[in-house]
């Protein structure tokens, strides 16, 4: 993705600049912070993920793009303080939501998916 922005592997300044765009949510008009209550168990993160996946698909169907941003969770103390998020909520990640710029080279990438066989083991019974 950085390559599509002309940022090479050894371009440390370019990489830093590209990473910093996360903290302006790629200039999306809507940003979100996804949290989960600390009393919930590890398995409950599945529910959060399923809820979000359905939300993203619903937005995509309406022409709205989303970008999940785990980088936002790297500074939880700032988010808790600035947004008044209660301490009992653990910050999982950020979201950028907006209309994708089709002309942006990064949005023209078609990243291949792993073959199913790399992720699923089928057993005959």
Task: By CB under 6 A, name the one of 22, 89, 98, 100 that touches ligand FMN.
Answer: 22
Report the C-alpha gap between 98 and 120 in whole angstroms. 33
> Does residue 102 belong to the site contacting ligand FMN (CB under 6 A)?
no
Please, what is the minimum distance in Å from the beta carbon of residue 95 to ligand FMN?
Answer: 9
Does residue 15 touch ligand FMN according to CB under 6 A? no
Continuous H helices in 74-116: 76-83
Contact in structure between 85 and 38 (CB atoms under 8 Å): no
Output the smallest distance, CB 114 to ligand FMN, in A. 12
Binding test (CB under 6 A) with ligand FMN, winner from 67, 85, 89, 98? 67
DSSP secondary structure string for all residues of 34-69? EEEETTS-TTHHHHHHHHHHHHHHHHHHTT-EEEEE
Which residues of the chain form contacts with ligand FMN (CB under 6 A)? 22, 67-71, 93, 111
């Amino acid at each position: 993705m950085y390559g599509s922005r002309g940022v090479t592997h050894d371009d440390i300044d370019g990489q830093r600049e590209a990473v910093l765009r996360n903290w302006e949510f790629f200039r999306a008009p809507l940003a979100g912070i996804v949290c989960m209550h600390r009393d919930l168990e590890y398995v409950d993160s599945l529910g959060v993920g399923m809820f979000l996946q359905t939300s993203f698909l619903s937005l995509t169907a309406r022409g709205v793009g989303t970008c999940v941003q785990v980088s936002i969770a790297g500074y939880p103390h700032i988010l808790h303080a600035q947004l008044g998020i209660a301490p009992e909520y653990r910050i999982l990640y950020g979201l950028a939501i907006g209309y994708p710029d089709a002309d942006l080279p990064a949005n023209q990438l078609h990243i291949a998916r792993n073959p199913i066989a790399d992720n699923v083991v089928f057993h005959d019974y």
